[in-house]
Structure 1
């Protein structure tokens, strides 16, 4: 199974273990596929992010709005541009910083969509806004085969699944979980991951990955109790 498929499946499983809200599972899925933008094969995504940031600068200047969103998108692109593959973006520090950047991009983009006339009159507009941003982010993170499937899934979820409003903490955590799942899975590869980059080049391998999977399973069972827990609990009891 190719790398993007493994990361995608692992993220979905973790999402189902941790969350009951399908939108948080989707956010975890997006987060898990972002770190590999540091690969040379994904440089087109990086260039598109930087170009998008320039377009946002112009748009926000025209609307006389703060440039924070454009700065964050540009910063996201630059981090991947300067990071070597499985370097900073595959470290603990990288995961936290990328989670924060993506979180604020989602929040600020949602606030920008509110300004579009008529959007607030739509059903569950706050959920719709986040879905739109996730779809846009999927264009910069997902494989070309996955992007159409993700878009269709988002549409079906919006149409058919009742979704409760997300808290800021849950949104950030789902991104963090997805990004962290990526480096956990990569630790099982022969090259390992430089978990403490840029402070240390020490590599961590499958022992770290195995311990983290046990920790994540324990947290999901005893603390978060997502969809899979509910299904399992109903089947047993």
Structure 2
């Protein structure tokens, strides 16, 4: 199984354990594909990211709009450029950095578009931004499957509620799921890079999977108790 397929499937499974909104599930999927931008064969995309960030910075600065969005995009590209594969971006510090950067880009872009366009449909705006992230981070084959399913799900699943915290958590879950899967490989991951080069392997991955399963059960416990009470009554 290709690397992106394994990461994507695992991320979808985790997302469905914690989220019900198509937006948050999609963000988890995209997050799971972000760390591998430190691959050498993706350098062209990294260059485009840096150039895009510079264009955004200059354009927003000229228009006297929040230009720091462009700076974050540049920072993200530079992070991938200088990171060796399965080093910083595949560590806990990398997970937090990537999650923070992409979350800020999404949230600030959402706020900017809302102010500039006067649109109040945050759900639609975020859906469009997520689709753009898909173009940036997803494999072309995966993107062709992702886009139609994503937009169809927006109409099928009627849920328009989301919070900034949920955006951050869904991205965090996706990015973190990537390093969990990579811990099962023979080469392992440098969990505390760049502070330490010590690697962790499948024992770490198994422990995390177990912990996430327990968290999911606790998260759904109130619902399970309600179902149990209904069953007892009848």
TM over 0.5: yes
Which structure has the larger Rg over C-alpha atoms? 2
Note the C-alpha offset of 1:116: 4.5
Residues matched between the structures, number: 226
| Counterpart pick for 1:182 among 175, 178, 184 | 178
Structure 2 equivalent of residue 159 of structure 1: 155
In the TM superposition, 1:201-220 aligns within 5 A as 201-220=197-216
Alignment RMSD:
1.8
| CA spacing shift, 1:219–1:199, aligned 2, 3 Å | same
Measure the CA separation in 2 of the matches of 1:63 and 1:218. 49
Measure the CA separation in 1 of the matches of 2:117 and 2:69. 20
In structure 1, the gaps of 5 or more residues are none
Is this contact kept in 2: 1:187–1:193, CA < 8 A? yes
Structure 1 ranges of 4+ moved more than 6 A: none
Is this contact kept in 2: 1:38–1:80, CA < 8 A? yes
Is this contact kept in 1: 2:69–2:109, CA < 8 A? yes
Measure the CA separation in 2 of the matches of 1:128 and 1:183. 31
Is the aligned partner of 1:133 residue 2:129? yes
Structure 1 equivalent of residue 23 of structure 2: 23
Measure the CA separation in 1 of the matches of 2:211 and 2:157. 30
Note the C-alpha offset of 1:66: 2.5
**Per-residue CA distance 1:52-74 (angstroms, 9 max, x = gap):** 10110122023111211001000
**Per-residue CA distance 1:13-68 (angstroms, 9 max, x = gap):** 00001112221111111100100000011112211110110110122023111211
Q: TM-score, normalised by structure 1?
A: 0.90
